[in-house]
Amino acid sequence: MEFTDLHPDTSTYLGQAAYLQLSVFEMLSTLSAAMDDLSFSPGVAEAAAIALRKHTSLTDEIRRREEDPATSMAQPKESVRRLREETDGGSLEQRVLSVYVTAGLLDDLFLGLASSLPSDISKRVTAILAEDNRRDVLRQYLQSRIQLAPEISSMLALWGRRLVGDTLLLAHTIVPNENGATEERVEPVFTELIAAHTRRMDSLGLTA
């Protein structure tokens, strides 16, 4: 089973994707405010603005279907909030890693799922989500912190494992259960998500 076989319900998908981007905006902008380091915080703010632009484009898609964005986003709100609470807290480095890992993985998931939406909407949503997230600044921040204090690496690697666990739990609730997409059959999809996660951790010199 591949992403293209999953066929999520379009309305549900759009509500989830739109709320996720709003949530990424909030996480990144809160980080930007917390960083208080003018060599990184404006870049993180820019990444936040990109997530907001994606959110707005996705709510435009919801309105195009004559649905109400606030209603569509109400359903996924609780589970995304729960993930944010579980992956928040700790040091600033941990919080930056949280956004880098959870948003990275969920973006991959939603971009993958977009491929199995109906053709015209699939093209538009893919174009929205494929735009560069500009989150390199998070990687650069973490690399600079690890370089200054290499002893934080092992803690961050452990934190990364908890993050990926929590995020995959949420991802499992998002992948549609219809069309015979049982746990075993969707495994290849998750293998792909985890491979991308491992590459992100590798780029930080952290064991995934």
Q: To the nearest whole angstrom, how small is the minimum distance from the Cβ of residue 130 to its own copies?
A: 20
23: left (phi over 0), alpha (psi -120 to 50) or beta: alpha
Distance CA 4, CA 94 (A): 34
Cα separation, 14 vs 80, in Å, equals 14
CA 14 from centroid of its chain's CA atoms: 14
3-state secondary structure string across 164-180: HHHHHHHHHHHCCCCCC
Q: Residue 73 or residue 164: which is nearer to its own copies going by CB?
A: 73
Q: Which of 96, 84, 77 is nearest to 32 (CA)?
A: 96
Decide whether 22 or 164 has the Cβ nearer to its own copies. Answer: 22
* Least separation in angstroms between CB 1 and its own copies: 33
* Closest to its own copies by CB, 7 or 53: 53
Nearer to its own copies, 29 or 94 (CB): 29
Provide the minimum distance between the beta carbon of 2 and its own copies in the complex, in angstroms, as a whole number. Answer: 33
For residues 143-154, b (16+ Cβ closer than 10 Å) or e, as one string? Answer: eebbeeeeebbe
Q: What's the full length of the chain, in residues?
A: 208
**Min separation Cβ 110 and its own copies, Å:** 18
Q: What residue has token string 């600079």? A: 144
Q: Footprint of its own copies on this chain (CB under 8 A)?
A: 22, 25-27, 29-30, 32-33, 38-39, 41-42, 45-46, 48-49, 52-53, 55-56, 59, 69-70, 73-74, 77
Indicate the residue among 49 and 155 with the shorter CB distance to its own copies: 49
For residue 70, the minimal CB distance to its own copies (Å) is 4
